[in-house]
Amino acid sequence: MNKEHVTILKFISILQRNTNRYFDLMLEEDGIGSGQQFFLLRIYENQDINMLDLSRLGSFDKGTVTKAVQKLTEEGYVTVTTDQNDKRVRHLHTTEKALPVIEKLYDVRNKWIDSILRNLDEDERLKLFNTLGDISDTSSAVIQKIISEKGEKHE
């Protein structure tokens, strides 16, 4: 059994926690935090997206998406409309009120990325990006295989 004290998972976990904390601190005055920022940007970039497609974009479960959208709706950043053909489908749109927050989100995100990658040149950044993309794709494939083997339905 491999009992290494430090694994790549430790660093991923630290990075994720610090990123969440950063977004929470930077967006506190806007009434949202790390839990909603991803969703607000994806809705803005994909106006009229439905909740199922939003969950697929980020590999989130339906409950997580529902909570985030509810919070964004309560803050007045997102509106939800019912599909005319299928009343079960909800379409999402950002509001005018959301636009300054969205602009701020892009700025906050870019500053964070520049801060944490400041010691990497452009080639190293691109290699890291591609490597993390490959690892993410592999992790998704592994999870899908496990779900398939267990006979569970995943949406």
- Write out the chain's pLDDT in tens, 155 residues: 666 666 889 999 999 999 999 999 999 999 999 989 999 999 999 999 999 999 998 888 889 999 999 999 999 999 999 988 888 889 999 999 999 999 999 999 999 999 999 999 999 999 999 999 999 999 989 998 998 998 855 44
User: What is the spatial distance between Cα 83 and Cα 133, in angstroms, rounded to a whole number?
Assistant: 33
Tokens 């009229």 -> residue: 48
CA distance 57 to 91: 15
Q: At what angle do helices 62-74 and 51-58 cross, to 10 degrees?
A: 110
Distance CA 89, CA 73 (A): 16
pTM of the model: 0.83
The C-alpha atoms of residue 27 and residue 104 are separated, in whole angstroms, by 9
Residues 6+ apart with CB under 8 A from 77: 32, 40, 94, 95, 97, 98, 101
